[in-house]
Amino acid sequence: MFKKALNISTLILILLLGLVTPSFAGGKAEPLPIPFKTGSSTATVKGHITGDLEFDYAVATKKGQWIMAEVVSDPLDSATFIIRDPQGSSRISLYRWSGIAPETGDYEIWVSKPADYKTTDFTLKVTVGMRPAPLRYSPSDKEGVALYAAMRKFINAFRTNDRTAFLACFSKSKPSYHLNPQNIGSKSHYRTTLSYSGLAADVKQKKGWYWTYLERGEDGDMDAFIDNVPNGTMWTRTADNKFVPPGSEVTSSTYVKWRKEGTRWVIDEISYSQA
């Protein structure tokens, strides 16, 4: 056996890597605290994952504080997280989550890569503080007025069972996306690309996507998206041109996201859990 001296530069590099190196799944490592700049309620961290590596973070909260975590990744949908509150309750396989801290202590967040992906570059954003107020618009905000009008038209289409009005909310030239949160992490079953022609054919013939969105199937025994708009109440607008059902968290897995196409708003994504 022999010993070899380490130069100062090498030692410093080893120590720095020890602070940011992810753990292997199944291993035990101390979580890395997420630092917040003075006066800021939001912090972001980034990482690269291959194989069974995961990143373990800690976020300090006080009882009653609102906390939100969301992860974006490249490739799209290739990173998820598990979050555990100070009392030990966990939520698994998430892209976004928000809630109220039940007591003072640390939330722990594990970011990992679903098996369907070989690698991922992720950005985790965490916000701690007050629950944000619903986004509003003023009459002078023409874009906001048009966006709200588009969402109102979409909701009314369900209330009146107007299939033509429903289809008018989608682009005829570019696809939209249906997201099923029950299949988070799956390349094949989480994000489905919908062409207008395919959606229109199903809606007109009362098959496939018609039963996902507009009517409960199996004599009413199967759930459908229409369950989320039972009385025509306007949904709540959140960031990124999204709307969530009334009373839902801003990170609700049920949402409608819009995008601008020319002079009008069209549906970009509909996220809705379905077995």
Domains of the chain as residue ranges with CATH? 23-129 (2.60.120.380), 142-271 (3.10.450)
Q: How far apart are the first and last CA of the chain?
A: 60
pLDDT by residue (tens digit) across 123-138? 999 999 998 888 887 8
pLDDT by residue (tens digit) across 151-168? 999 999 999 999 999 999
Task: Find the mean pLDDT for residues 51-66.
Answer: 96
pTM for the complete prediction? 0.85
Residue 220 has what pLDDT? 64
- Indicate the pairing of strand 80-84 with strand 105-112: antiparallel
Residue 239 has what pLDDT? 86
Among 273, 259, 51, 89, residue whose Cα is nearest residue 175 = 259
Chain mean pLDDT for the chain = 89
For residues 62 and 91, give the distance between their C-alpha atoms in angstroms, rounded to a whole number: 19
CB neighbour burial string for 243-264, b if at least 16 within 10 angstroms, e if fewer: bbbeebbbbbbbbbbbeeeeee
Measured from the Cβ of residue 184, the count of other Cβ atoms closer than 10 Å reads: 19
Measured from the Cβ of residue 16, the count of other Cβ atoms closer than 10 Å reads: 10
